[in-house]
C-alpha cells in the first residue's frame, strides 16, 4: 500500500522533488515490465500511463498522441509547449490533497510507486547529441593552461556558441558503470595505445529539445525557448590524454565518445522558471541572430561529489552555478539551426563544462592538468580519476520556499578491458 498523498507531500523545504517540480522520467515498475513515463514526487514516482488510461489528460493533443504509454519521452517532447503546459497543469491539480486522484484510493495505489522499488531508464531516445563550450570561466581556464593567459580565448569564442557533435549512442542513464577507455596517447613524442591515465569528469547541464524545426528553417532566438523541453544533469566523461593527441584539427573523438551520463529526471523548463536570471553581460554584442533580450541565465546550484574507490564516504570536489554560462540554451539553439540544421524531439544539447568564480567543473582545471594533486580525507591524492572512483553530480534551483532538484548523475569507473 503506497503512502497517502498528504504524507507524500509532507516534505522538507530542501527536498529535491516537491509538488512544484514534477520532473519527467521513464521507469519500469518491476524488472521485466515495459517502461513507461512517470513523474517524480516526494520519494516516489507517479505512473502517467495509469493516469492517461483513466482519462485525466483532456487536452486534444494529449488525447490524440497518448504519449505517456510510450517507452520514452520522445512522443511527449514532440508536442507543443501548450500541450506540455496542459499536462503540467493537470498534474499540479492532481498532486494535491483532496484532488480526484487523492480521493480515488484504488487509482492512487495503482499509479504511485516508491522510487526504491522501480528501475529508472534513459528518459528519451537521443537522436543527436551536441556539446557546447558555453562557460567563459571554463574556456579561459583551459585556454590559459595550454596557451597562456594572453591567448586563453580563441578569437571566435565571444562571438558564437562553440560546439561539436558528440555521440548519441553512448549517452547513458545515471548509475551506469563507466569503463575506462583505451586509445592513442602521446608518450615520449611517440604514439602508444593504452588505457587512458587522465580520465576526467565534466560538470554540465543537458538541454532536451522538444518540438524540432524543419530542415532549412532556422529557429529565431526570440522563439527558441519554445524548443526547450527540459533540463538534466550531464557528465561528458573525458579521456584528456587521448583527447590531447587526437583533437587537432577536427576536435574530440575517442577522448569523448565512450560515455556521457545524464540524470534520469528531465526537469521541465516551466519548473525552473523561478530560477531565471539575467545572464552575464555579453561584450562584444552578439550578432543580431543571437541577440536575446529576455533573462538568459538559470540560477541552478551545482556540485561534484567523489566517492573514492574503496570508500563509502563522499568528498565534495567542487561547487558551481549555471547562472555564469555565457551562452544561453536559447542562443545555442538559434546558432545550431541558423545554417539550416534540423533539430528533432529528444535531441540533447550539453552546455559544456560549467565553471564559475565559486568553483571549477573538471579535474583538468582543479589540478592544473595534473600538476597540483588533490589531497583527499583518506590520505590519498588524485590528479585524475582512479578505477573504482564514483563521481556524482547534483544540482538544484531555488523556488519561493521550495527546491527544484535535478537529481543525480552518477557513474563508477571500471578498469579498462
Based on its alpha-carbon atoms, the radius of gyration of the chain, rounded to whole angstroms, reads: 22
3-state SS of the chain? CCCCHHHHCCCCCCCCCCCCCCCEEEEECCCCCCCEEEEEECCEEEEHHHHHHCCCCCCHHHHHHCHHHCCCCHHHHCCCHHHHHHHHHHHHHHCCCCCHHHHCHHHHHHHEEEHHHCEEECCCCCCCEEEECCCHHHHHHHHHHHHCHHHCCCCCCCCCCCEEECCHHHEEECCCCEECCEEEEEECCEEEEEECCCEECCEEEEEEECCCCCCCCCCCHHHHHHHEEEEEEEECCEEHHHHHHHCCCCCCCCCCCCCEEECCCEEEHHHHHHHEECCCCCCCCCCHHHCCCCCCEECEEEEEEEECCCCCCCEEEEEEEHHHCCCCHHHHHHHHHCCCCCCCCCCEEECCCCCECCECCCHHHHCCCCCCCEECCCCCEECCCCCCCEEEEEEEEEECCEEEEEEEEEEEEECCC
Are the C-beta atoms of 45 and 117 separated by less than 8 Å? no
- Backbone conformation region of residue 187, classed left if phi is above 0, alpha if psi is from -120 to 50, else beta: beta
| Dist. CA 413–CA 321, nearest whole Å | 25
What's the confidence (pLDDT) of residue 292?
87
What's the confidence (pLDDT) of residue 377?
85
Provide the β-strand partners of residue 28: 119
Predicted TM-score (pTM) of the model is 0.97
- Locate 148 and state its grid cell: 597562456
Instruction: Choose the catalytic residue: 59, 113, 138, 227.
Output: 138
What's the confidence (pLDDT) of residue 401?
95
Check if 138 is active-site: yes
Give me the tens of pLDDT residue by residue for the chain, a chain 417 residues long: 688 899 999 999 999 999 999 999 999 999 999 999 999 999 999 999 999 999 999 999 999 999 999 999 999 999 999 999 999 999 999 999 999 999 999 999 999 999 999 999 999 999 999 999 999 999 999 999 999 999 999 999 999 999 999 999 999 999 999 999 999 999 999 999 999 999 999 999 999 999 999 999 999 999 999 999 999 999 999 999 999 999 999 999 999 999 999 999 999 999 999 999 999 999 999 999 999 887 789 999 999 999 999 988 999 999 999 999 999 999 999 999 999 999 999 999 999 999 999 999 999 999 999 999 999 988 899 999 999 999 999 999 999 999 999 999 999 999 998
| Dist. CA 130–CA 204, nearest whole Å | 12
Q: Which residue has the cell 547562472?
A: 323
What's the confidence (pLDDT) of residue 99?
96
What's the confidence (pLDDT) of residue 293?
82
* 29 Cβ neighbours under 8 A, 6+ residues apart: 36, 47, 113, 117, 118
What's the confidence (pLDDT) of residue 356?
95
What's the confidence (pLDDT) of residue 2?
83
* Residue whose C-alpha is closest to residue 330's, from 270, 281, 289, 283: 289
| Dist. CA 129–CA 292, nearest whole Å | 24
Amino acid at each position: 500500500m503506497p503512502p497517502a498523498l498528504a504524507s507524500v507531500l509532507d516534505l522538507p523545504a530542501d527536498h529535491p522533488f516537491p509538488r512544484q517540480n514534477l520532473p519527467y522520467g521513464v521507469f519500469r515498475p518491476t524488472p521485466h515490465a515495459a517502461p513507461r513515463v512517470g513523474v517524480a514526487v516526494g520519494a516516489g514516482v507517479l505512473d502517467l500511463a495509469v493516469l492517461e488510461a483513466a482519462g485525466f489528460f483532456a487536452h486534444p493533443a494529449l488525447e490524440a498522441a497518448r504519449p505517456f504509454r510510450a517507452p520514452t519521452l520522445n512522443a511527449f517532447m514532440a508536442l507543443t509547449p501548450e500541450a506540455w503546459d496542459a499536462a503540467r497543469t493537470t498534474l499540479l491539480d492532481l498532486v494535491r490533497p483532496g484532488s480526484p486522484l487523492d480521493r480515488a484510493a484504488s487509482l492512487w495505489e495503482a499509479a504511485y510507486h516508491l522510487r526504491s522499488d522501480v528501475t529508472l531508464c534513459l528518459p528519451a531516445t537521443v537522436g543527436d547529441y551536441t556539446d557546447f563550450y558555453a562557460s567563459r570561466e571554463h574556456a579561459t581556464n583551459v585556454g590559459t593552461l595550454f596557451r597562456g593567459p594572453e591567448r586563453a580565448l580563441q578569437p571566435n569564442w565571444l562571438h558564437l556558441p562553440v560546439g561539436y557533435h558528440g555521440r548519441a549512442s553512448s549517452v547513458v542513464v545515471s548509475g551506469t558503470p563507466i569503463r575506462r577507455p583505451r586509445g592513442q596517447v602521446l608518450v615520449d613524442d611517440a604514439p602508444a595505445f593504452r588505457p587512458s591515465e587522465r580520465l576526467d569528469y565534466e560538470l554540465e547541464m543537458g538541454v532536451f529539445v522538444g518540438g524540432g524545426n524543419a530542415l532549412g528553417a532556422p529557429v529565431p532566438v526570440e522563439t527558441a525557448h519554445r524548443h526547450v523541453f527540459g533540463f538534466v544533469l550531464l557528465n561528458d566523461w573525458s579521456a584528456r590524454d587521448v583527447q590531447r593527441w587526437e583533437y587537432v584539427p577536427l576536435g574530440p573523438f575517442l577522448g569523448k565518445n565512450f560515455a556521457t551520463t545524464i540524470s534520469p529526471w528531465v526537469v521541465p523548463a516551466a519548473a525552473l522558471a523561478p530560477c531565471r536570471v539575467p545572464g552575464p553581460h555579453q561584450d562584444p554584442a552578439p550578432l543580431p541572430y543571437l541577440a536575446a533580450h529576455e533573462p538568459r541565465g538559470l540560477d541552478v546550484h551545482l556540485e561534484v561529489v567523489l566517492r573514492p574507490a574503496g570508500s563509502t564516504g563522499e568528498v565534495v570536489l567542487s561547487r558551481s552555478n549555471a547562472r555564469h554560462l555565457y551562452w544561453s540554451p536559447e542562443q545555442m539553439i538559434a546558432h545550431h539551426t541558423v545554417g539550416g540544421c534540423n533539430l528533432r524531439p529528444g535531441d540533447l544539447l550539453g552546455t559544456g563544462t560549467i565553471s564559475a568564480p565559486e568553483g571549477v567543473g573538471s579535474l583538468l582545471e582543479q589540478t592544473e592538468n595534473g600538476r597540483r594533486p588533490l589531497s583527499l580525507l583518506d590520505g590519498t591524492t588524485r590528479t585524475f580519476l582512479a578505477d573504482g572512483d564514483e563521481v556524482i553530480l547534483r544540482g538544484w534551483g531555488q523556488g519561493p520556499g521550495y527546491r527544484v532538484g535535478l537529481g543525480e548523475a552518477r557513474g563508477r569507473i571500471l578498469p579498462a578491458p
